[in-house]
């Protein structure tokens, strides 16, 4: 078995582990001392750290293996085998992988997500905009990976948010006043 496949599978396995449970916070969702937004922020930060660590381990063996570990950790986080393939949306893990590839690319993805969220107050739209904008910026930067290599992660974000994307693309029915109601 090649090192490429071994690291990819190990990254998948590591990506599918929910870090908050691995660190002994199994009752993380029911923690009375943490407010819901703090729990979400802590979970997001743990996912970013997970992505950074795993992709940095892969980058020790070169850019191709870093990319294999990035794909593996993202797929493992989104589709964990022991949770019947129902995992997270992968935004934190993908951000961590981008930070490991190039910190400026990760910073750009984070700023584009935060800006879109601030303007539209929609985290799904923010994730989609950041996922679409990041390969565009990567085409301008000099990176050890190609911008085309980021497209599978962009496709993964779009796939995980496809229902919200479809709802955003369909026009909402306009509320019309029923003129015959009073008759």
Q: Tell me the pLDDT band of 33, cut-offs 50, 70 and 90.
A: low
61-75, 106-120, 168-182: which has the minimum mean pLDDT?
Answer: 168-182
- Give the per-residue pLDDT at 178: 47
112 in any annotated domain = yes
Domain count for the chain: 1
Residue 177 domain flag: no
- Indicate whether 152 belongs to any domain: yes
Contact yes or no for 157/90 (Cβ under 8 A): yes
Q: Tell me the mean pLDDT in the region 76-99.
A: 84
Q: Is the pLDDT of residue 20 over 70?
A: no
Does this model's pTM top 0.95? My answer is: no
What pLDDT is attached to residue 115? 93
Cβ-count burial 44-59 (b if 16+ within 10 Å, e if not): bebbbebbbbbbbbbb
Kindly state whether residue 62 falls inside one of the protein's structural domains.
Answer: yes
The whole-angstrom separation of Cα 31 and Cα 38 is: 11
pLDDT at 35: 64
Residue at 178 is within a domain: no
Q: Look at residue 142 and tell me whether its pLDDT is greater than 80.
A: no
User: How large is the angle between the packed helices 151-160 and 91-101, nearest 10 degrees?
Assistant: 170
End-to-end Cα spacing for the chain: 77
Domain annotation covers residue 104: yes
* 94-118: average pLDDT: 90
pLDDT at 114: 92
Radius of gyration (C-alpha) of the chain in whole angstroms: 19
The domain of 136 spans 3-169
The Cα–Cα gap between 45 and 49 comes to 6
Nearest to 105 by CA among 95, 117, 120: 95
Q: What is the pLDDT of residue 4?
A: 83
Main-chain phi, psi angles of 82, to 5 degrees: -90, 5
91 lies in some domain: yes
């Amino acid at each position: 078995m090649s090192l490429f496949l071994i690291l990819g599978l190990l990254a998948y396995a590591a990506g599918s582990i929910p870090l908050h449970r691995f660190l002994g916070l199994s009752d993380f969702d029911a923690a009375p001392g943490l407010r819901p937004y703090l729990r979400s922020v802590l979970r997001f930060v743990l996912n970013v750290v997970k992505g950074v660590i795993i992709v940095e381990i892969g980058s020790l063996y070169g850019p191709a293996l870093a990319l294999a570990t990035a794909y593996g950790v993202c797929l493992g986080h989104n589709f964990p085998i022991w949770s019947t393939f129902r995992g997270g949306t992968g935004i934190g893990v993908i951000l961590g992988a981008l930070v490991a590839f190039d910190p400026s690319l990760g910073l750009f993805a984070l700023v584009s997500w935060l800006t879109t969220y601030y303007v539209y107050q929609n985290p799904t739209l923010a994730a989609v905009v950041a996922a679409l904008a990041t390969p565009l910026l990567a085409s301008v930067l000099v990176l050890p990976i190609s911008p085309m290599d980021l497209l599978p992660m962009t496709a993964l974000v779009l796939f995980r948010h496809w229902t919200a994307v479809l709802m955003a693309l369909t026009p909402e029915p306009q509320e019309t006043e029923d003129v015959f109601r009073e008759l």
